[in-house]
Chain A
Amino acid sequence: MTEAGREAPSPALPAHPRRDAVLPVRQRRVGWFPRHSILPGFGLSLGITLLVLSIIVLLPLAAMMGDATSLGWSGFTKLLASPRVQGAFRVSLVCSLLAAVTSAIFGLLIAWVLVRTRFPGRRLADAMVDLPFALPTAVAGIALSTLYAPNGWLGALLAPLGIHVAYTVAGVYVALTFVGLPFVVRSVQPVLQDLEAEQEEAATTLGANPLQIFRRVLLPAILPSLCSGFAMAFARALGEYGSVIFISSNRPMQSEIVPLLIVNRLEEFDFNGAAAIGTLMLVLSFCVLLGITLLQRLTLSPRHA
C-alpha cells in the first residue's frame, strides 16, 4: 500500500520506459483525480453506475424539468391559480401532515412499548410493524377501503356514529397513516434501544411522574430521530398513490390528491401541466429530504462526538 502510494505521483517524473514497465498496469492508469487505492475496477463500476443512473433516473428527470419549463412562467402561475390544483395540494399537504403527526404519536408509543416492555407476542408485533413496507400499496388500498366501507368491519361500527371514512377525505388520512407508521417506529426504536433504561429508572426513584419522565428524560433524547421519522412519513405520504385512490372518492377539491391530479393531466394529454405539477412535487420532497439530512446529522453528531 505505502509502496504503491509512493509510486503514484510517478507520471510527474520524466517518462522512463523501464521504470514504467515495473509498475503494475493499473497504477499507470491513475487519471486526473487522486486515487488512493490499488484496487481495480474503478472505471468499470463507475461506468455501470453512471449508465444505469442516466437511463433510469437522470434523463427522465431532465425530461420532466425540461417539459415543465416549456410551460413558461405565466403558464406556471396560471396552473397554480387553478382551484383544482390548489385543492389537490391542500388535500395532499393537510392529510399528509395529519397522518404524519398520527404516525409520530403512535409510532413513538409502539417503539417505546417494543423496546421497554415485555409481553407475549412482542416479537411478532415487532415484525408486523414493517407490514406497510412489505404489503403492496394496491393490496393495502383495497383492504382498507373494504374495512372502512359502510358495510365493512370498522365502517359498520363507525357509521352509527356518523363517521364515514371510506370514500371521503378521512379515508385519505387513514391510508396515509398506514404507510407512514413504520418510518417513525424504525427511526425511534434504535435510539431508544441505545438509551439506557437506567435514566428513566433514576428519574422514577427521584420521584418523577411518568409524564415528567417522558418530557424531561425521554423526549429530549429521541426528538431528533422522532423528527426524522416524522419527515420520512410525511414525504412518503405526499407521494403515496396506490393505497389512497381506492379508499378516497377522488373528487376534485375534496379528496383528490396531487399524484392523482398528475395522472388525470396525463390522461388528458396535458404533458406540460403534468410535468409542472410533478416538478413542484419534486421540489417539495427535496425540501423534506433536505430536512431529513439535516436532522440525521443532528441525530448522529452526539454519538460521534
Chain B
Amino acid sequence: MRDRAASPHQGGWTIALIAVALLFMTLFLLLPLVTVFAQAFASGIPAYLAGIADPNALSAIRLTLLVAAVTLVVNVIFGLAASWCLARFAFPGRSLILTVLDLPFSVSPVVAGLMLVLLYGRQGWFGQWLETHDLRIIFALPGMIIATIFVTLPFVARELIPLMQEQGAEEEEAAILLGASGWQTFLRVTLPKLRWGLLYGVLLSNARAMGEFGAVSVVSGNILGLTDTMPLHIRAMYDDYNIVAAFAVASLLACLALLTLVAKTILERRFLGAQREARIA
C-alpha cells in the first residue's frame, strides 16, 4: 500500500527534492555528529583515552550517572502517580494540573535554573531557613538533581497519560471487583500494560537528564571535579582550549544519543505494533 503510494513520485523533480533534503540533513545533522568523533580522535587514541581517564572527567561521568539515576526514579514514581490520577479519575483542577505539567517543556532551561536559585538560593525564599539548618541546595548536588528533574518531569507522565486513557480502566475494575487489592491490581494489571510506554518515557528523560546543560549550569556553580556533570565538564575543557578532552567526553554523550535513537526506533516499531494489534483485537 505504502510502496504503491510512493511509486508515482519518482521523476526528476522527486530526485532533486530528495537530494536537497539529504544535503540539508547532511549539513545540519550528520556533519555535526561526525565532527564530534573526528575531533575526539584527532590526536589519536591515547589522547582520547587520556581525555576520558582524567580524574575530573571521571568524576563528571560519575556525577552525571548519579544525577540521572535519581532523576529517573523520581520521574517514574511521579509519572505513574500522575498518570494514575489524571487518566483514571475526573476531578476539578485536572486540566490545570496538566497545564502545569507541560510547563517545563515551554520554559527555557536557564529560566528553570533561575527559578530554583530564587527559591532555594542564599537570597531566596528558603535561603535563610536552609542556611540555619546547614543545608545546601544551590551550588550543590541537590540543586542539580532538582534542576534535572524540572526539565525532564513531563517525559514519563506525558507518555503514560494517553496510553492509560487509551487502554481504559475495565481490566483494573475487574481485578478490584474480583477482590484484588489496589497494589496487586497496579502491579499485576496496570504495570505490565504500561511497560513499553514507561520504557519509552524513561529513555527520553534519560537522554535529556544526562545531557542537560542550561538549567544545571545555572545551579551548579561549576566547581571543577565537584559539581561538574559531563556537559559542564565539556564546557570547561572547551573554554580551556583542551579541544580533544572536550570532544572525548562529548563523544560519550554522542554515543548515548545514538543508542537512544536506536532504542527509540526499535521501541516505536514494537510499541506501535502492539498498539495496532490491540486496536484490531
Q: Which residues of A come within 8 Å of B, CB atoms?
A: 1, 33-42, 44-50, 52-53, 55-64, 66-67, 106, 109-110, 112-113, 116-119, 123, 125-140, 142-144, 146-147, 152-154, 174, 177-178, 181, 196-198, 200-201, 204, 210, 235, 238-242, 246, 258-260, 262-263, 266, 269, 271, 274-275, 278, 281-282, 285-286, 288-289
B125-136 vs A, CB cutoff 8 Å, 1 = contact: the mask equals 100000000000
* Chain B residues in 8 Å Cβ range of A269: 123
CB distance from A262 to the nearest CB of B (A): 5
- The answer, among B32, B81, B88, B124, for a CB contact under 8 Å with A44, is B81
CB distance from A39 to the nearest CB of B (A): 6
Which residues in chain B, 103-160, are within 8 Å of chain A measured between CB atoms?
103-104, 106-112, 114-121, 123-125, 146, 149-150, 153
Question: Complex: how many Å from CA A285 to CA B111?
Answer: 11
Cβ contact of B8, chosen from A57, A126, A201, cutoff 8 A: A201
Q: CA of A286 to CA of B120 in the docked complex: distance in angstroms?
A: 24
Asked if A263 contacts B110 (CB within 8 A), the reply is yes
B153→A56 contact, CB < 8 A:
yes
Quick one: given A37-B89, A116-B5, A135-B211, are A275 and B176 in contact (CB under 8 Å)? Answer: no
On chain B, the residues within 8 Å of A117 by CB distance are: 6, 9-10, 14, 17-18
- Please pick, from A38, A119, A131, the residue contacting B261 in the complex, using a CB distance under 8 A: A131
B residues within 8 Å of A by Cβ? 3, 5-6, 8-10, 13-14, 17-18, 20-22, 24-25, 27-33, 35-36, 39, 74, 77-78, 80-82, 84-86, 88-92, 97, 100-104, 106-112, 114-121, 123-125, 146, 149-150, 153, 169, 172-173, 176-177, 182, 185-186, 204, 207, 210-214, 217-218, 230-232, 234-235, 238, 243, 246-247, 250, 253-254, 256-258, 260-262, 264-265
Interface residue SS majority, chain B: helix
Task: Beyond A53-B100, A118-B10, list 20 extra A-B contacts (CB 8 Å).
Answer: A37-B173, A38-B173, A39-B176, A42-B85, A42-B91, A57-B150, A131-B257, A137-B211, A146-B35, A181-B29, A197-B6, A258-B108, A266-B114, A266-B117, A271-B121, A271-B123, A278-B115, A281-B108, A285-B107, A285-B108
Chain A residues with Cβ below 8 Å from B10 are 117-118
The answer, among B153, B185, B211, B257, for a CB contact under 8 Å with A52, is: B153
Please name 7 pairs of A and B residues whose Cβ atoms are closer than 8 Å in the assembled complex, sorted by A: A41-B85, A46-B81, A135-B32, A135-B33, A263-B217, A281-B111, A289-B102
A263 to chain B, nearest CB (A): 6
Complex contact B114–A64 (CB within 8 A):
yes
The 6 closest A-B pairs by CB, nearest first: A136-B211, A239-B108, A60-B115, A242-B213, A197-B5, A40-B182
